[in-house]
A and B are shown apart, each in its own frame.
Chain A
Amino acid sequence: MKPAEPEYIAVSPAENKYVVRNPFSEDLKINGHKKDIKIFEDEDGFTFLEFKNKKYLAEITDKTQNKYTVLLNGVSYSFTIESPISYRRRKYLEKYKKANKLEVVTAPMPGKIVELLVEVGSQVKEGEAILILEAMKMQNEIIAQVSGKIKKINVKAGDSVTKDDVLMEIER
């Protein structure tokens, strides 16, 4: 059996890097600095961190393999956890990945499509409204995040959608 990795690297979507060494011991170090963080659970089953005399409510809300979403005091943080070796490999691969030309528009919340403001082939500008989504009785304009041409539309007026459903694809 191989010994456990002594180091784990948590990388945020903004590429903030946290190198966590010795997570279970008093010799915990994050990015090379010694940290005194306690982790414990109360009788109600809430998990807390204690750090610098402050208490933080923590919950892992999502985890798929090495991808984590952690809720800390009600705020979500996402990370990919890597070992030093897998981290280097990922960096290497990313360099060679081609820039993605397709922008996917997803539903930001569950709701109903009220109206499509574009059709396939329409040219849109960044910031332009492309469809109207009704959620919790409010009509919300969904805005194009990039300028480009509408490549594909997956919904029509009257459709119900759930969060993260792919509504359209825009080609930059």
Chain B
Amino acid sequence: MKIKSLLIANRGEIAVRINETAKKLGIKTYGIKTSKEPNALYLRLVDDVIDFSDSQEEIPEFLDIERIIEAARSNNVGAIHPGYGFLAENPYFARRCEEENIVFIGPSADAIYKMGNKTIAKQIAQKHKVPLLQGSQGNVKNPKEAADIASKIGYPVILKAASGGGGRGMRIVEKASHIEKMFKMASNEAEKAFNDPSLFIEKYVRNPRHIEFQIVGDRYGNYIHLGERECSIQRKHQKLIEESPSVALDENLRKEMGLAAIRIAKAVNYYSAGTVEFLLDADRNFFFMEMNTRIQVEHPVTEMVSGVDLIELQIKVANGEKLPLKQEDVKLSGWAIECRINAEDVQAGFSPNLGIIEKIAYPKGKNIRVDSGVTDYSVITPYFDSMVAKLIVHGETREKAIAGTSIALRKFWIRGIKTTIPFCQAVMNHKKFKKGDFNTSFIEKEMEQLYYHDEEDEMLAAYVAAFDFAAEIETDRSTKPDFERGKNISPWVLNKRLKSL
């Protein structure tokens, strides 16, 4: 391995994940410490910590290109892994790494640029006969132009940030009277999130499935795909549950879409791991959406069904090695489901639930994987994304994977913050999800209850409250309540238990 050391320019669970594989490959790892999260879990796991906590810059630490480059240079670091988000899809950052002779673990700056620019990406897709949705040729300048195009292709349409992703700067417009307001909102949001207000417009497919293909290429023109991921369980365009494979695909369609994904990758001489996203309509027509030129949050479901370590492949390809496997070596088996455990209050419209994790315990089992960025006493700050961990469960069949996920969610214990666990449980127990009958409108249209609870749960919670209230009155009177059903218990022990309730 030419790469001897690696700077992880990211945080949270993905920093932990990258660190794990890098160490397995015998690479020395560096992490970046920020003042916003000085006690984060990843900092305890990396070999060496580079301290950015004195940063007074306006620009967030993980976006500070020159400082990161300088940190890598002064520590003689051979490579940088950007993870996802932050600088992962910034072509300028990849170029700066190339200029400084630091290996960027990802594709070339050129490939990032071409795929990051939605207009160029679409032209490439069109040229390589990958189906596309009708829309604007390039960016639209103003609401008027957007309205003109929309009336030509017909409503509904969708406005999207040209440099966007993750649902930000994105608006669906149902009728002409809304387009001006929506254009302004999307543009405003795009400017804030990506520092680029440009928007483009395309035909909006109602209730599609979101299907994406994982591809990996090397620097010698070899490509494989590792099947699809079904990411249709989304709220406001944010993925919450992903699985692989998808019930919507058969072998023929899988092959066709996989080849289309590889055609796009080849067209930009892509190397490293990448994801080609498609929309699949009810008649199983697929349309190219975009290519994500990075490792993705949901990569573990692919790893679980393929047995491949995608971070390892990324590092090996960056190291100049050939892909160790060919398409015919890719064997996908069983079914994997990922639940994103976000620090969000589902009962309050998924609003961020900040605080301290007092205690966390994970489900265990041979088909269970937990990628977590937190531990006991981790602080959930408002500065970063709300995702704290991911639960990935594998089963021989989809049915078994769902049942396994449901059991594992019940054993995923967190005290101190609320999370999306009850939401994930509600999905696992939903009739239509179990049948595989769902699309991107599932949460909005099919879920009457966004969190799972049994009929008797409220009664049990009422008992907890009444128990505590009664016990307080009892301890006030210094009596010995009959806590242990007949056996007396000392007030001291009782007190301790009550405190921990």
A residues at B contact (CB < 8 Å) = 1, 4-5, 8-10, 12, 16, 18, 20, 23-26, 28, 30-31, 35, 37, 39, 41, 44-47, 49, 51, 55-60, 63, 66, 68, 70-77, 79, 81, 108-110, 114, 132, 134-139, 163
Nearest-CB residue, chain A, relative to B476: A4
List the A side residues contacting B473 at CB < 8 Å: 4-5
CB-based contact B456/A51 at 8 Å: yes
Interface pair B460/A60, CB less than 8 Å apart: no
Please report B residues at the A interface, Cβ cutoff 8 Å: 167-168, 185, 188-189, 192-193, 236, 345, 347-349, 351-352, 354, 358-359, 361, 382, 385-386, 410, 413-415, 418-419, 421-422, 425, 451-453, 456-471, 473-474, 477, 479, 481-483, 485-486, 497, 500-501
Contact B348 A109 (CB under 8 A): yes
Residues on B with C-beta less than 8 A from A136 are: 352, 382, 385-386
**Residues in B neighbouring A70, C-beta threshold 8 A:** 461-462, 464-465
State how many angstroms separate the Cβ of A6 from the closest Cβ of chain B.
10
What number of A-B contacts does a CB cutoff of 8 Å give? 178
Instruction: Take A59-B501, A71-B418 as given contacts and tell me if A81 and B359 are in contact as well, using a CB distance cutoff of 8 Å.
Output: no
B347, B419, B453, B470: the one contacting A23 at CB < 8 Å is B470
Write out the residue numbers on chain B whose beta carbons fall within 8 Å of the beta carbon of A46. Answer: 359, 361, 413, 415
B464/A4 in contact, CB under 8 A = no
**Contact status of A134 and B192, CB under 8 A, knowing A24-B470, A49-B464:** yes
Contact residue among B451, B453, B463 (Cβ-Cβ distance under 8 Å from A37): B463
Contact yes or no, B500 A23, CB < 8 A:
no
Having A10-B465, A30-B463, A75-B451, one finds 11 other A-B pairs with CB under 8 Å, namely A5-B473, A10-B462, A18-B458, A23-B467, A37-B463, A39-B464, A45-B359, A63-B465, A74-B419, A75-B422, A77-B461
Chain A residues with CB under 8 Å of B479's CB are 4
A81 nearest CB neighbor, chain B only: B469
> Which of B188, B359, B468, B473 is most buried by chain A, counting CB atoms within 10 A of its CB?
B468
Q: Is the CB of A132 within 8 A of B185?
A: yes
A4-B474, A73-B422 known; A49 and B463 CB under 8 Å?
A: yes
Q: How far is the CA of A37 from the CA of B457 in the complex (A)?
A: 12
Decide: B352 and A68 in contact? CB cutoff 8 A.
Answer: no
Q: Which chain B positions have C-beta within 8 A of A37?
A: 460, 463
Q: Taking CB as reference atom, which chain B residue is nearest A57?
A: B413
Q: Is the interface of A mostly helix, strand, loop or mixed?
A: strand
Q: A20-B466, A35-B463, A68-B469 are in contact. Are A12 and B351 (CB under 8 A)?
A: no
CA of A139 to CA of B167, assembled, Å: 11
Residues from chain A with a CB closer than 8 A to the CB of B193 are: 137
Closest to A10 in B: B462
Contact B468 A68 (CB under 8 A): yes
Task: Judge whether B470 and A60 touch: CB under 8 Å.
Answer: no
Q: Which residues of A contact B465 (CB under 8 A)?
A: 10, 60, 63, 68, 70, 77, 79, 81
A23 to chain B: closest CB distance in Å?
A: 5
On whether the beta carbons of A20 and B462 are closer than 8 Å, the reply is yes
**Bound CA–CA A31/B497 (angstroms):** 26
A15 to B485, CA, bound (A): 30
* Chain A residue at minimum C-beta to C-beta distance from B473: A4
User: A25-B485, A132-B185 known; A41 and B500 CB under 8 Å?
Assistant: yes
Closest 6 A/B residue pairs (Cβ): A109-B351, A10-B462, A18-B462, A77-B461, A68-B465, A20-B466
Q: CB-CB < 8 A to A108: which residues of B?
A: 348-349, 351
Bound CA span A70–B465, Å: 7
Known: A58-B464, A109-B349. A44 touches B359 (CB 8 A): yes
- In the bound complex, residues from chain A placing their C-beta under 8 Å from that of B452 are 73, 75
A-B contact pairs, 12 of them (CB 8 A): A8-B470, A18-B462, A26-B486, A39-B464, A49-B464, A55-B410, A58-B501, A73-B422, A77-B461, A108-B349, A137-B193, A138-B168
In-complex Cβ contact of A26 among B457, B467, B474, B485 (8 A): B485
Contacts of A71 in B (CB 8 A): 418
A134 — which chain B residues lie within 8 A by C-beta? 192
Contact of A72 (CB < 8 Å), options: B359, B461, B477, B481 = B461
Which residue on chain B has the smallest CB distance to residue A68?
Answer: B465
CB distance from B133 to the nearest CB of A (A): 24
Does B188 contact A139, Cβ atoms closer than 8 Å? yes
Q: In the assembly, what is the distance between CA of A73 and CA of B468, in Å?
A: 18
Given A4-B473, A8-B470, A75-B347; A47-B463 close (CB under 8 Å): no
Out of A5, A81, A109, A114, name the residue touching B352 (CB < 8 Å).
A109
- Contact in complex: A137, B459 (CB < 8 Å): no
